[in-house]
Amino acid sequence: MQSGLYVALSSQMALEKRLNTIADNVANASTVGFRATGVKFEDIVSGLGEKSVSFASAGDTYLSTQVGPLRETGNPFDFVIQGDAWFAIETPRGPVMTRDGRFTMLETGELVTLEGYPVLDAGGAGILLDPQGGPPVAGADGTLRQEGNLAGAIGLYEFQPGLNFTRYGNSGIVPSGAPEPIVDRIDVGIAQGFVEDSNVNPVLEITRLIQVQRAFEHASSLMRDSESALDQAISALGPR
């Protein structure tokens, strides 16, 4: 069997993964707190010397570290992280990390996400506010005060998604281990009345989408040429 077929097939599999990743990025270009997904590939070499053949790896996904643009909303329940940190929320999958700081307060005083998931403090517990105390006022360190009284504190966590991470919803990331709470760091904080928009650049992603589609078509053409050459060889060398 010609090695060109295997090379083209591995290329198509890699391009399909890249295509799916770009499509997901474009679909979440307006999702608050969304971080774009990237894919990196490596060459897998089979054989030695002149007989060696390079194939594309399956690819590893990684999360972009670029901060999305900040947008002022004026909503006292909107929060944005300043620095390299994450919010933690409690979900059916356990604690999930997110940069989406659009929260709200239930009638019971519990601080939750728009989907109803509890927002966690630095100790991993839910945050309970005074339902009669009005909107909280947040300090840069995440502390929440109502009518001047300390009511709780939003937890900030140090978290590295690593390769081949698992998403939860649109902007959440499921941690593989226990994230570490951030305490007493002046380079990390919270601003109230803002949200962090998606860091996806739609124009750049669509340009990449066109490039990947063309590369996929080129790989398909290579496979057709390899199959045609193989058929011709069989016809020429086969029994007469």
Q: What is the mean pLDDT of residues 164-171?
A: 93
pLDDT band at 226 (very low <50, low <70, confident <90, very high): low
Strand segments, DSSP code E, in 26-116 are 37-40, 43-46, 53-56, 60-63, 70-72, 79-82, 87-91, 94-98, 103-105, 111-113
Which of residues 26 and 215 earns the better pLDDT score?
A: 26
For residues 14 and 232, the answer to whether their CB atoms sit within 8 Å is no
Quick one: average pLDDT of 106-127?
Answer: 97
Work out the number of other CB atoms within 10 angstroms of the CB of residue 147: 11
The winner for highest mean pLDDT among 13-17, 54-58, 80-84 is 80-84
CB-CB contact of 142 with 153 (8 Å): yes
pLDDT digits (tens, 9 = 90+) for 31-47: 999 999 999 877 555 54
Q: Which two tokens stand for residue 238?
A: 């086969």
CA distance 65 to 77: 25
Domain boundaries, the chain: 3-64+200-237, 70-196
pLDDT of residue 118: 98
User: Percent of the chain scored above 70 by pLDDT?
Assistant: 78
pLDDT in tens, 195-216: 999 999 999 999 988 888 787 6
pTM: 0.81
Q: 162-194: buried (b, 16+ CB within 10 Å) or exposed (e) per residue?
A: eeebebbbebbbebeeebebbeeeeebbbbbeb
Nearest to 3, CA basis, from 222, 236, 233, 232: 222
